[in-house]
Amino acid sequence: MLKNQTAIVTGGTRGIGAGIVKLLLTEGVRTIVLAKNEESITNLKETMDGLGELEAYQCDITSSEQVAAVVEKVDEKYGRIDTLVNNAGVGVWKPFEEMTEEDWDSQLDTILKGAFLCSQAVYKKMMKGEGGQIVNIASDLAYNTTEKASAYCASKWGLLGLSHTMNKEGKKHGIRVTTVSPGLVQTDFGGVPAAKKTSGLTVETVAEQVVSVIKTGKDAGQVEVIIRP
């Protein structure tokens, strides 16, 4: 069903992102990963070697110039972008009164601004073609807040609002914008190693849900998935 399609995944070198990339490759999807760290890209290519057609670009998704350049390159090479998965994220857990401006900016810029810039660049390409879909990896914290995560919660709530609005505007262009919002996932994130998470969702479970969303028929105008352990 997805064979020979083209997908872009941000933050696809580790954790949930790497799980999504692995599953897309096994489905025969031409998968392009955007990541900031060159070493993580090298490691990903070694890990995914032989699974399918994988490309990776070093790209700061908070830079409109870098995002536009990569999206243009992918569109020119393949003539289409079927799916974008906005997965890149940063988590800083601190009491509200200790949250610094740098902490705030790093999370809002990566999660919300990054999703906006990547979505807008891809959205414009999809408008000129047969449409497509954008899947935003939100969080259970986009619905239920928790202590020491003020900036993270704000960014994910914002991502949810952005997704809903984009989906309403995108329908007339054949573009569906959906969200997948997992609860605790067994990954190294927010300064907490996976080994200390005795419960939680596996990366594979979340990745399966994302690919399931991508496979959902176009008659579904909106898809919103919340996964809790």
Residues with catalytic annotation?
A: 152
Report the sign of the C-alpha dihedral through residues 143, 227, 152, 107, in that order: negative
CA–CA gap between residue 190 and residue 106 (Å, rounded): 12
- Are residues 41 and 13 in contact, defined by beta-carbon separation less than 8 angstroms? yes
The CB density around residue 22, as the number of other CB atoms within 10 Å, is 21
How far is residue 26's CA from residue 45's CA, in Å, rounded to a whole number? Answer: 14
Q: How far apart (Å, rounded) are the C-alpha atoms in residues 151 and 29? A: 34
